[in-house]
């Protein structure tokens, strides 16, 4: 029993709600709802099937047919436009050819004249080249003569003078070192002399002098003390009471009385001033009281304004907004915006310098994947070291401008349909062939080059997918730091590879050497490297700018509120300042200030009066003391004389001690002076040493000057010889420069001759071509008239009306014609002409519309099913609510019967409804318990029994069996169970198994079991008291004839209930 009680008491709110659902019979609504949900799922499946059919088949087909219809119309319109443009292009071609024929004769004559002029220029330049060659020979002769004897002789002379200059400099340096040593000794002596003049001896004499002067001053003070003690002794002996001030008692009494009178006058003046100021303060207070209302109003307004200011400040502090951080972010944004603009400009400028590496093309096919074209080689590499850019550019050569694509099919499509604007060489990655440098060659190059040579491939960075193209471009070349290393590696058998120096000199093992001046600024790879760096910088600044803007955007709402509050704060502060100025300028404020000043003066007057009174009191006491002393003077005469004599004796002893100290200080001064004089002798010796050292310094200085002059003379002679040698060498360099200049000019002339020869041949070829073109142009006109039958009829109108090409852009007409040709080709290739497209489109559209109607019907059915589900949920809720209310009432009634003075309820959880679950709440004497754990075991048993019986009351059964439900209860609770059954279940029968007498009192019939002689025996007893109390009620404990009849009746009612 207790286990079942615990199970019921531990039920969660949803579990108790499930008991009510079972009692109310709402399973029918659940079954109907499940059926509706299954139907709804079928409708949803139908919708998904319709959607899938429309989205995967019908709609794509419809769109495709619609596109085919549009392409069919486009093909017809484009064909008409193409035919019109074709006639215009043919007319323009006819007119151009005819003009070419007309202008051909004059152009041919001009070409012949140009060829003759070129021949004349060639002859003149050949003569000029011969003159340059003779000048070069003369300069070579002069150079050989000068290199013979003059230069060698001057070189020998310069070497001899250099040796002599070195010896003179060495002697000069040695003498200088010796002079510096003597000068250091002189400095040391001067320092010692300075120390003897200024340091300890002078300070010691000065200290001794000061001590002597102090002792003399102490002696003088002691002598004055003897004089004062002598005067006091004389006053005591004569009887006038003089003291150290040499004034008698009468004189001192007179001074005290005069001071008393003066203090009395000061007291009276202070009292008068105090009364006047008190009166003035009272008048100010009265005036201020009359203005109190005005002052209060101003003060209240001021306090209110101060509160507004404080409120604004608190609001600002509560925003948690960092104005300094926002300003810093704003500054970062401005800085980064400027940096981004500058970086963009730099990128644009650098991009314009490398515009030649852009590869422009049009998609050769519909749906073309542009990732198939990797780009120009120069843009696919990144130079690791800018110093090697020139060498890498020479190593790559023209391959830098070649275009890398993924396959040969892509290359073919670009060449045929890419509308390329210039000739290009394409590298397909699947077809490119390259040879890699063997590891042995790399090892030999590293050994022979001693780290001054690297494979070109290692000096560039690239993506893995274009590795084949990069190896093809840079594969077998080495970059060397100098020409010596390049030459050594290029012609070494172990390497035998092409080598390029950092300056761009090319050493080819085949014997071809290429070099000369190359401008660093013209390096394509260097400019691309700078462009990449500029783009990286732009990306970094753009990212930082975006971060700053994002942070400012996050702070914007708070910043706006902060600015608004800041403005309000400034306004309130200004208002506060105005009120403060108004208060300070008001009459009440001025009165308050005047009152404060008056009160301060009053306090000062009180202090003066107190000071005067104190002084007066002091003088009165002094006068009384002097009067008493005068009165008592004759009595204490002997005592006063003895005191004065003692003072005099002490003063004389002090004088004697001061004289001894003075003599001691004078002896110390004499000793310090003697030490100073001895130091003066030592100083004389130091001065003699300093004089000798200075003489040595003078001699060495003279020698240094002589050696300096000798060094300067040798330097001048050496410079003169070096200048003569440099002049000769400069002349040799001038000869070399002149030879190089003449050779350069001669080569330039020869190049001009070659250029003229090339130009002459080009002119001759062009003349031949023009003659052929003139002949072919006439043939072309005849072919146009034969190919287009409308040309002979319309050629008279060429240049007029629609054929007037001066008013039209002929290039645009040809571009439009080519565009229409390509478009017609595309339409034909991609199935653009579909005759049955419109008919199929209409059929498909009708099918789609029919499916859409079916879909709408299914959606309507689904909405109706959802409505039915909502109605079922509402009915279930109402049934549950009715069950809850009835069970709650029965639960309370049964429990209060079992435990009088209590109450029990089924309540929803806090913050929820009864659909979220129900909790059991118990009250004792009107006080509701917080938890059921506060109940005893018997109370919990009665509570669980009350809940079960209350559920049974909702749909009562004809018979119930209770098995020892009172096992854990005391007698009172057992009797209450019997009374509760009779009271609340009058229409039902109960069979109760119990061992307690309290239950027997309420039974109609009692069956008792016991062992008799080892055999279980059952006895039946009719409870007369129960029959008398209840009459013919149906309640029974046990059974009998009436109980059997009621049991039969109950079983019949149960069967009828089950059938219903």
Contacts of 614 (CB under 8 A, 6+ apart): none
Contacts of 56 (CB under 8 A, 6+ apart): none
What is the Cα–Cα distance from 668 to 635, expressed in whole angstroms? Answer: 52
Vertex 872 angle, CA 868 and 873, to 5°? 115
Give the DSSP per-residue string, 683-735.
HHHHHHHHHHHHHHHHHHHHHHHHHHHHHHHHHHHHHHHHHHHHHHHHHHHHH
Task: List, for the chain, all residue ranges whose pLDDT scores fall below the cut of 50.
Answer: 520, 832, 1031-1060
243, 232 Cβ separation under 8 angstroms: yes
DSSP reduced 3-state for 989: strand
- For 555, the token pair is 């702070």
Contacts of 420 (CB under 8 A, 6+ apart): 360, 361, 414
- For 956, the token pair is 């009562």
Of residues 737, 747, 758, 764, the one with CA closest to residue 125: 747
Of residues 900, 950, 946, the one with CA closest to residue 923: 900
Strand-pairing partners, residue 614, are: none
Q: What share of the chain is helix, strand, coil (3-state, %, to 5)?
A: 75, 5, 15
Element containing residue 904 per DSSP (H, E): strand 902-907
Element containing residue 903 per DSSP (H, E): strand 902-907
pLDDT of 69 reads: 67
- For 78, the token pair is 């484009």
Residue range 685-723, pLDDT digits in tens: 667 777 777 777 788 788 878 878 887 887 888 788 778
Contacts of 1036 (CB under 8 A, 6+ apart): 989, 990, 991, 1003, 1004, 1005, 1042, 1043, 1046
pLDDT of 428 reads: 92
Distances (CA, A) of 860 to 50, 396, 580, 849: 15, 74, 76, 17
- β 498-501/477-480 pair status: parallel
36, 872 Cβ separation under 8 angstroms: yes
- For 525, the token pair is 């790879």
What b-and-e string marks burial along 414-432, b requiring 16 or more CB atoms within 10 Å of the CB? beebbebeeebebbbbeee
Q: Over the chain, what is the mean pLDDT?
A: 77
pLDDT of 1057 reads: 40
Vertex 421 angle, CA 417 and 422, to 5°? 110
Of residues 153, 172, 161, the one with CA closest to residue 716: 161
791, 92 Cβ separation under 8 angstroms: no
pLDDT of 769 reads: 75
The phi and psi torsions of 913 (rounded to 5 degrees) equal: -110, 175
- For 309, the token pair is 């200011």
Residue with tokens 């118990």: 922
The phi and psi torsions of 480 (rounded to 5 degrees) equal: -115, 155
676, 272 Cβ separation under 8 angstroms: no
What is the Cα–Cα distance from 408 to 899, expressed in whole angstroms? Answer: 100
499 class by beta-carbon count within 10 Å (0-12 exposed, 13-18 middle, 19+ buried): buried
Distances (CA, A) of 392 to 183, 505, 618: 65, 11, 112
Strand-pairing partners, residue 991, are: 961
- What does DSSP assign to residue 147? T
């Amino acid at each position: 029993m207790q286990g079942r009680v615990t199970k019921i008491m531990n039920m969660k709110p949803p579990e108790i709600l499930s008991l009510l659902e079972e009692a109310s019979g709402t399973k029918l609504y659940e079954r109907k709802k499940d059926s509706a949900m299954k139907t709804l799922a079928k409708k949803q499946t139908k919708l998904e099937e319709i959607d899938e059919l429309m989205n995967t088949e019908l709609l794509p087909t419809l769109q495709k047919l619609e596109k085919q219809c549009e392409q069919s119309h486009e093909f017809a319109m484009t064909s008409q436009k193409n035919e019109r443009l074709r006639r215009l292009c043919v007319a323009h071609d006819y007119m151009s050819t005819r003009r070419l024929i007309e202008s051909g004769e004059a152009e041919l004559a001009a070409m012949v004249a140009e060829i003759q002029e070129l021949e004349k220029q060639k002859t003149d330049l050949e003569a000029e080249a011969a003159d340059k060659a003779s000048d070069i020979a003369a300069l070579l002769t002069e150079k050989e003569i000068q290199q013979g004897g003059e230069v060698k002789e001057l070189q020998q002379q310069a070497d001899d003078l250099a040796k002599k200059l070195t010896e003179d400099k060495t002697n000069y340096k040695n003498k200088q070192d010796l002079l510096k040593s003597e000068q250091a000794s002189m400095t040391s002596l001067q320092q010692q002399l300075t120390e003897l003049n200024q340091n300890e001896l002078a300070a010691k004499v000065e200290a001794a002098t000061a001590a002597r002067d102090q002792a003399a001053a102490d002696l003088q003070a002691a002598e004055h003390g003897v004089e004062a003690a002598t005067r006091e002794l004389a006053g005591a002996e004569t009887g006038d009471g003089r003291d150290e001030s040499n004034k008698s008692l009468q004189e001192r009494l007179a001074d005290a009385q005069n001071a008393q009178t003066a203090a009395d006058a000061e007291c009276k003046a202070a009292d008068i001033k105090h009364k006047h100021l008190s009166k003035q303060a009272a008048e100010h207070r009265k005036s201020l009281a009359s203005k109190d209302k005005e002052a209060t109003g101003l003060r209240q307004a001021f306090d209110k304004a101060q509160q507004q200011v404080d409120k604004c400040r608190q609001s600002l502090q509560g925003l948690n907004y960092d104005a300094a951080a926002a300003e810093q972010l704003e500054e970062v944004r401005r800085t980064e915006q400027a940096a981004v603009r500058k970086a963009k400009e730099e990128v644009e400028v650098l991009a314009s310098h490398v515009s030649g590496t852009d590869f422009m093309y049009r998609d050769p096919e519909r749906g073309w994947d542009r990732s198939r074209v990797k780009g120009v080689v120069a843009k696919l590499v990144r130079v690791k070291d800018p110093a090697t850019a020139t060498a890498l550019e020479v190593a790559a050569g023209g391959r830098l401008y070649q275009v890398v694509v993924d396959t040969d099919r892509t290359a073919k499509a670009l060449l045929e349909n890419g509308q390329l604007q210039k000739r290009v060489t394409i590298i397909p990655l699947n077809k490119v062939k390259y040879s890699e440098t063997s590891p042995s060659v790399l090892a030999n190059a590293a050994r022979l080059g001693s780290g001054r040579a690297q494979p070109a491939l290692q000096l560039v960075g690239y993506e893995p997918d274009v590795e084949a193209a990069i190896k093809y471009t840079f594969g077998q070349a080495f970059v060397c730091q100098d020409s010596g290393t390049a030459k050594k590696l290029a012609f070494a058998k172990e390497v035998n590879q092409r080598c390029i120096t950092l300056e761009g000199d090319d050493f080819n093992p085949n014997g071809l050497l290429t070099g000369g001046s190359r401008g660093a600024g013209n390096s394509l790879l260097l400019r691309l490297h700078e462009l990449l760096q500029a783009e990286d910088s732009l990306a970094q600044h753009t990212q930082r700018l975006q971060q700053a803007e994002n942070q400012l955007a996050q702070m914007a709402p708070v910043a706006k509120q902060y600015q608004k509050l800041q403005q309000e704060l400034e306004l309130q502060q200004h208002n506060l300042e105005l009120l403060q100025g108004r208060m300070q300028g008001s009459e009440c404020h001025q009165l308050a200030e005047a009152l404060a000043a008056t009160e301060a003066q009053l306090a000062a007057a009180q202090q003066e009066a107190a000071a005067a009174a104190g002084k007066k009191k002091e003088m009165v006491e002094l006068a009384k003391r002097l009067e008493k002393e005068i009165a008592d003077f004759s009595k204490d005469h002997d005592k006063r004389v003895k005191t004065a004599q003692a003072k005099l004796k002490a003063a004389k002893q002090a004088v004697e001690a001061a004289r001894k100290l003075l003599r001691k200080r004078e002896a110390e001064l004499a000793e310090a002076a003697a030490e100073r004089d001895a130091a003066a002798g030592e100083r004389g010796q130091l001065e003699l040493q300093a004089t000798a050292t200075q003489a040595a310094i003078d001699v060495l200085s003279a020698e240094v000057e002589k050696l300096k002059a000798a060094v300067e003379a040798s330097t001048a002679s050496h410079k003169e010889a070096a200048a003569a040698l440099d002049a000769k060498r400069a002349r040799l360099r001038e000869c070399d420069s002149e030879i190089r200049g003449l050779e350069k000019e001669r080569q330039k002339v020869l190049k001009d001759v070659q250029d003229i020869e090339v130009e002459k041949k080009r002119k001759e070829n062009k003349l031949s071509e023009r003659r052929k073109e003139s002949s072919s142009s006439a043939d072309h006109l005849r072919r146009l008239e034969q190919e287009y039958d409308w040309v002979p009829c319309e050629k008279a109108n060429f240049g007029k009306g629609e054929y007037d090409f001066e008013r039209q852009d002929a290039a645009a007409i040809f571009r439009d014609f080519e565009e229409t040709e390509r478009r017609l080709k595309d339409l034909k290739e991609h199935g653009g002409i579909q005759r049955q497209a419109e008919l199929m489109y209409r059929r498909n559209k009708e099918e789609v519309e029919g499916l859409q109607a079916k879909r709408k019907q299914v959606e309507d059915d689904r909405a109706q099913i959802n409505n039915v589900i909502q109605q079922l949920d509402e009915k279930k809720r109402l049934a549950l609510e009715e069950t809850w209310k009835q069970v709650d009432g029965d639960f309370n009634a049964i429990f209060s019967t079992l435990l009088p003075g209590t109450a029990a309820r089924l309540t929803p959880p806090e913050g929820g409804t009864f659909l979220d679950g129900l909790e059991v709440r118990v009250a004792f004497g009107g006080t509701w318990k917080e938890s059921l754990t506060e109940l005893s075991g018997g109370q919990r048993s009665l509570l669980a029994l009350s809940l079960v019986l209350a559920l049974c009351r909702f749909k009562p059964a004809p018979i119930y069996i209770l098995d020892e439900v009172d096992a854990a209860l005391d007698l009172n609770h057992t009797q209450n169970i019997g009374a509760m059954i009779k009271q609340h279940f009058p229409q039902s029968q109960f069979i109760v198994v119990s061992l307690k007498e309290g239950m027997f009192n309420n039974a109609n019939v009692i069956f008792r079991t016991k062992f008799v002689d080892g055999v279980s025996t059952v006895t039946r007893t009719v409870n007369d008291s129960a029959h008398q109390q209840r009459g013919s009620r149906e309640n029974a404990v046990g059974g009998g004839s009436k109980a059997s009849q009621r049991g039969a009746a109950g079983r019949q009612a149960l069967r009828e209930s089950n059938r219903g």
